[in-house]
Structure 1
Amino acid sequence: MTSPHNRATLVGAVFASVVSGMLVAGQSRINGELGVRMGDGALAALISFSSGFVILSLAMLASPRARRGLGAVLEDIRRGRLPWWSTLGGVGGGFLVLTQGLVAGILGVALFSVAVVAGQTLGAMWIDSRGWFGVPTVRLSPARAFGALVAVVGVMVSVEVWAGQDGSLSWGFLLPVLSGAGTGIQQALNGTVRNRASSALAATWINFAVGTTALAVVWVVGLPATGGPEVFPTEWWLYAGGLLGTLFIPIQTITVHRIGVLGLGVSLVTGQILASIALDLIVPVGDFPISVWTVIGASLTVLGSILVTTSKRRST
């Protein structure tokens, strides 16, 4: 029987993960418009990640515990107690931010979130059920599988993907699907590093350091083809994507080992879809209509999240 303390911890982790998903949608909105305005999605992604890296580096300087955690991770890698590839979660995060800069401004935040969610939920189900990348193995019970299915169907309903919107089945839709699957790996690896470091800040700093490096390489390699940015917008908020990342990545590294990769993924879905609908209503970046189906789909997504997170059972 679940104790009141454990129940409260689970509810708190789910709520924090939903808020994290809302921040992801906000970052997609910001980076999507920055990529469109600059005419350089890769540079928009690099600006987002590198600004977050600078913020976290300043925080690291002020936190002896985080620096000790970073040293512990490096020592574990040196002694072979932690595989070096465990620190590569930032590659998945960098790919997500790259797709934000490339296609979120074209698809709109809601449709972009559909693509991310589809990859996120399916990828997380696979990781969770096999206990890969250091996460506890969680049996894929019928209730969890049904909850994930309900969540995906809910997202599809909410944005009416079948309505024949442009780009729904193009490469612009495929990229965020792949990046969504990559976030499951990112969350699992970051959670493992956080446990070794005993510091969410240290794990997040490693995530941003790796992601910034990967995006810098991508931008430099692609520069001859892109020709660089067309213009640098002057609105300050277009450069706040990295700040949002420094907020939602630590939440994910903490909650992933409490509710599992799939539980985290579906909680993120709930936050992402609700926030993306609100953003497309209030400050749209793409041409996307909101209808009664949107509300129905969002409700189904929340139901799916509840089914997945409350049906968690670890394999023995």
Structure 2
Amino acid sequence: MPQPARLPAAVGLPLALAAGMAIPAQARVNGELGVALDDSLAAALVSFGVGLAVMIVVSAILPRGRAGFAQILPSLRERRFPRIYILAGVIGAWFVLTQTLTIAVLGVAVFTVATVAGQTLTGLVVDRMGIGPGGKKALTIMRVVGAVLTIAAVAWAVSPKLSGTGGTGDWLLAVLLPLSAGMAMSFQQAMNGTTGMHYGSPITATLLNFVSGFAALLAVWLVKVALSGTGNPPPDTWWYYLGGPLGCIFIGVGAMLVKTLGVLLTSLGLIGGQLIGSLLLDVFFPAPGSVVVAATVLGTALTLAAIVVATLPWNMPGVRLPGSRRRP
């Protein structure tokens, strides 16, 4: 059976960068929608609802989507993976909710740096535990160094905010929210990779992510409505509703490029796109009250460098962590 043509890096990497820029754009859209609705929870629910509608259409139209959908019940019945993996979308719901809660306070650039830092830190744990379809991966010196650098990068990027007058505790809390979402995303990606492998299509894994995430947000929103009522009516601005489709683009293009570029180059391209896109948004379309200073730019650059250090599979003979075994 002929192998699919591989995209050259000169074509695939720009696509990965463009897809990565969808995440900070989604963050800005969801943040604006939250302000317009005066209800961050409702904004996250709308984002997931629109994304779910898109994935239902895609799954119904594409043959691979229909084939993958048919494998859901057999996969669960045969316990091909832990059943809790179908709730990976709840993590995505938390990620989108942190967007709507903190974007207006932090700005897109600092939000992205915090989430990427969280992904890198827990990526070490996920790889070591072997949760993803690729199995366990060695905990190398360079990956640990990269994780430590991400902590320094986040501290540097948010330092202008924390050194301002008053509200330091509020800023710390605001940074911790996207950091926690990024940390959870590493587990979500591993869970999605495993379920997508057994479904035979990442389309189905993405669809179930939106199903579980939407259900979780809807339940919490109904409780909120019962306690404090609804916010403002839905706004007329059309681009406020693009958050869900932007998330679909990020996941779909990433899944397509992994087959041709490989996981390493795709991941670097997507993360690079997030960092570049967030800075461009804060520079050219800044949210009210957000500013970009040298520390934010340099902290973002250090985060990107730390990701390269942590991700590249550098083999350093004679340099191993205590307790690790030399492979034959």
Asked whether the 8 Å contact 1:27–1:245 carries over to 2, the reply is yes
- TM norm structure 2: 0.82
Match 2:171 to one of 165, 168, 172: 168
The correspondence for 2:189, drawn from 183, 187, 190, is 187
When residues 271 and 107 of structure 1 are mapped into structure 2, their CA distance, relative to the original with a 3 A threshold, is same
Q: Is 2:153 the counterpart of 1:154?
A: yes
How far does residue 107 in structure 1 lie from its aligned partner after superposition? 2.4
Give the one of 177, 180, 183 matched to 1:178.
Answer: 180
Query: Which amino acid in 2 is paired with 1:195?
Result: M
Tell which deviates more after alignment, 12-21 or 49-58. 12-21
Alpha-carbon offset, residue 168 of structure 1: 2.3
> Equivalent residue for 1:202?
204
Distance in 2 separating the partners of 1:52 and 1:127: 27
The 8 Å contact of residues 110 and 296 in structure 2, kept in 1 or not, is answered as no
- Contact 1:148/1:304 (<8 A) preserved: yes
Decide whether the 8 Å contact of 2:31 with 2:100 is kept in 1.
yes
CA 1:73 to 1:231, structure 2 compared with 1: closer, same or farther past 3 Å?
A: closer
CA distance in 2, matches of 1:221, 1:117: 31
Instruction: Write 1 or 2 for the structure with the bigger share of helix.
Output: 1
- Contact 1:90 / 1:206 at 8 angstroms: preserved in 2? yes
Once the two structures are overlaid, the 10-residue window that deviates more, 57-66 or 117-126, is 117-126
Structure 1 pair 36–106 and aligned structure 2 pair: CA distance change class (3 A):
farther
With the length of structure 1 as denominator, give the TM-score of the two structures.
Answer: 0.85
Residue 164 to residue 108, structure 1, CA distance change in 2 (3 Å): same
Shift of 1:222: 1.5
Q: Partners of 1:192 and 1:55 in 2: how far apart?
A: 22
Q: Structure 2: how far apart are the matches of 1:269 and 1:155?
A: 15
CA contact (8 A) 2:45 2:218 kept: yes
- The verdict on how the C-alpha distance between 1:6 and 1:155 changes in structure 2, with shifts beyond 3 A counting, is farther
| TM superposition shift of 1:115 | 2.9
Structure 2 residue runs without a partner (length 5+): 316-324
How far off its partner does 1:81 sit?
2.3
Identity in percent: 33
Distance 2:160 2:119 in 1: 17
CA distance in 1, matches of 2:13, 2:119: 16
One-letter amino acid matched to 1:245? G
Deviation at 1:286, TM superposition (A): 4.1
* Deviation per residue, 1:2-26 (Å, 9 max, x gap): xxx99968x9887665444321111
Pair 71,209 (structure 1): closer, same or farther in 2 beyond 3 Å: same
Structure 2 CA distance for partners of 1:33 and 1:58, relative to 1, 3 Å: same
Alignment of 1:241-280 (within 5 A): 241-253=243-255, 258-259=262-263, 264=267, 268-280=270-282
Q: Which residue of 2 aligns with 1:32?
A: 31
Query: Within 2, Cα distance between the matches of 1:197 and 1:217?
Result: 27
Mark the CA change 1:137 to 1:19 in structure 2 (over 3 Å): closer, same or farther: farther
**Partners of 2:287 and 2:208 in 1: CA distance:** 31
| C-alpha distance 211-268 of structure 1, shift in aligned 2 (>3 A) | same
Indicate which of 239, 242, 247 corresponds to 1:240.
242
Q: Report the equivalent of 2:58.
A: 59
Cα 1:247–1:97, aligned 2, differ >3 Å: closer, same or farther? same
Aligned CA distance change for structure 1 residues 49 and 125 (closer, same or farther; 3 Å): same
Task: Tell me the secondary structure at the aligned position of residue 296 of structure 2.
Answer: helix
Confirm or deny: 8 A CA contact 2:128 2:139 kept in the other structure.
yes
- Distance in 2 (alpha carbons) for counterparts of 1:152 and 1:23: 24
Q: CA distance change for structure 1 residues 16 and 143 in 2, over 3 Å: closer, same or farther?
A: farther
Structure 1 gap segments, 5+ residues each: none
Q: Quick one: structure 1 residues 25 and 148, their matched pair in 2 at CA, closer, same or farther if it must change by over 3 Å?
A: same
Cross-structure match for 1:144: 143
User: Could you say which residue in structure 2 is the equivalent of 1:224?
Assistant: 226
Rounded to whole Å, the distance in 2 between the matches of 1:8 and 1:74 is 38
Task: Give the secondary-structure state (helix, strand or coil) at the position aligned to 1:285.
Answer: coil
Residues 89 and 26 of structure 1: CA distance in aligned 2, closer, same or farther (over 3 Å): same
Distance change in 2, residues 1:226/1:247 (3 Å)? farther
Query: Pick from 287, 290, 312: which aligns with 1:310?
Result: 312
Partner in structure 2 of residue 299 of structure 1: 301
Structure 1 counterpart of 2:109: 110
Letter in 1 for 2:122: G
> C-alpha distance in 2, partners of 1:245/1:141?
32
Q: CA deviation at 1:250?
A: 2.7
